[in-house]
Structure 1
């Protein structure tokens, strides 16, 4: 599908004020809207695996994609109802692939890539996957000892957060224009602490969590954009969402707040306080969490240029990367706020492992 855009008409008597978009001005009608008809395969036939074994039959469904030229009012309705908006072709495909190629060129000295493979393909070298876990809490929880090769990997992965190729993607104009239109924010502020993550095949997956757990020093008004950098296959460990889980995030956070009477103000806003799981997440067992909540996990095949937006309460995680071609899943979490309103200022710093957030 060719990428499409939220656009203003080139001419016409009506102009939308900056940050005050309306469907008639910013969004073209979508003659072939794809929402509600996206079921490419039977998910039970896919090789989907959690940390504790295969995903069970009937536990997985599909995210519903929305074309980028869908009317704004329809997008708002879907986001309010579902907690997410999966926008196909939100940014140029070329911008995504350019960043992917530059990232793997940057990472090549770590031994991450298969010898002779093209960097843009991001084919894993099939070395010990545990060496290539992202820096931070997962490595700490597993007590991993870093050798020279993994230390080089961690050094490069951390420095990539400030590399020009990555900052260019974060500043993508089409992404900013979409958020301005969708949220009505005159000048969206991206929180400087972003998460750039590469998950190699068969490594630990993204644990179950919702974003507001980590953004408690501000109100729940942020918008997360999860941006796959390159394609992510259905079995490639892309982000997945617990169906209709906004209420679960809200109820869980309310329970945390009720139990926070014994905490200092600083501890109360921390996702790593003594009332939380070690690591700050809800669970490492996606299968058990889905069973307990009686809801499906929703997955998708992501293409370069796609972006999925979600609210701060939406529960999400991933499966293990079981991509049949050995491709590394590369993606970034970007969070946006209205700078004119209160937000969690702790996040206005560049990511560092174990930085308390």
Structure 2
């Protein structure tokens, strides 16, 4: 993963759960990176987060650290059939045929998720110290941390993360909890990175505060084009590089694109959540992530 994967989506049809995105200028746009001048200005960052609902921070992490963890992840899944035999785990080339689901679940939830390596990655100073600075407080990292890989060619409802906002899953704590989405390797649009519904946090925040929005812990929809039409706004995407991150509020609606890479590369990412330690904490998120944890 030396950056050669990154390019624009020219010639690639962008989809999510099989729905084709409307790529007109009023329905599809680009994430706006935080300008270099604002990166060390906490007030400017907070103003931007309130305005946009997200902070896109290119080059936030050391790419070598990100790629080391990518190699570690796919190396630990050797023997499941997920990764193509004879290829460098760093590239995450999908194996032929279906992986052994039982072996894959065991490796993911019994080995990778609770591993010291994953804990160290999520608490590295570049992340933890930044949140302590940004929140101006001691910080708490939720133990429930999520790792996702997506194989190319997977399409249809349920294969990509559907449109949702995080608060519906974290109602028993503070709404000031912040998510950081980390692409673990270069993730051009065709690999299925995260996409954000522009300005949606203003709508959900207002409706939550007025008690008009009593959403259960569930996705909103898999139909991203219709949701953009309903909000009369755009889905925002970009070509992520190893080291880029997005910090986002608990109110902004986001989803994932389908992986349509024709060279077999898998998308790998992690999403973790930090908050001020002095704010209320959702106790349900203090156990390791598992597919059967009910959240």
Query: Structures share a fold, TM > 0.5?
Result: yes
Corresponding residue to 1:118 among 75, 88, 101: 88
SS in 1 for 2:195: strand
TM-score in terms of structure 1 length:
0.73
Query: Once structures 1 and 2 are overlaid, which stretch shifts more, 111-120 or 96-105?
Result: 111-120
Deviating above 6 A after TM superposition, structure 1's stretches of 4 or more consecutive aligned residues are: none
| 5+ residue gaps, structure 1 | 1-39, 132-148, 261-267, 272-279
Residue 56 in 1 paired to residue 8 in 2?
no
Q: Tell me, yes or no, if the aligned pair for 1:229 and 1:330 is still in contact at 8 Å.
A: yes
What are the residue-to-residue correspondences of 1:102-181 with 2, within 5 Å?
Answer: 102-128=72-98, 149-159=100-110, 160-181=112-133
Corresponding residue to 1:336 among 274, 277, 290: 274
Q: 1:321 to 1:192 in 2, by over 3 A?
A: same
What are the residue-to-residue correspondences of 1:302-313 with 2, within 5 Å?
Answer: 302-313=240-251
CA radius of gyration, larger in: 1
Q: Tell me, yes or no, if the aligned pair for 1:93 and 1:304 is still in contact at 8 Å.
A: yes
- Bigger relative contact order, structure 1 or 2 (CA pairs below 8 A, ≥6 apart): 2
- 1:95 match: 65
Cα deviation for residue 45 of structure 1 reads: 4.5
Q: Tell me, yes or no, if the aligned pair for 1:44 and 1:57 is still in contact at 8 Å.
A: no
- 1:284 match: 222
Q: Which whole-Å CA distance do the structure 2 matches of 1:45 and 1:290 have between them?
A: 22
Q: Tell me, yes or no, if the aligned pair for 2:181 and 2:246 is still in contact at 8 Å.
A: yes
Q: 1:120 to 1:252 in 2, by over 3 A?
A: farther
Q: Tell me, yes or no, if the aligned pair for 2:177 and 2:275 is still in contact at 8 Å.
A: yes
Cα deviation for residue 163 of structure 1 reads: 1.6
Kindly report the root-mean-square deviation, in angstroms, between the aligned alpha carbons of the 2 structures: 2.1
Residue 201 in 1 paired to residue 152 in 2?
yes
Cα deviation for residue 165 of structure 1 reads: 2.0
Q: Tell me, yes or no, if the aligned pair for 2:196 and 2:252 is still in contact at 8 Å.
A: yes
Equivalenced residue count is: 280
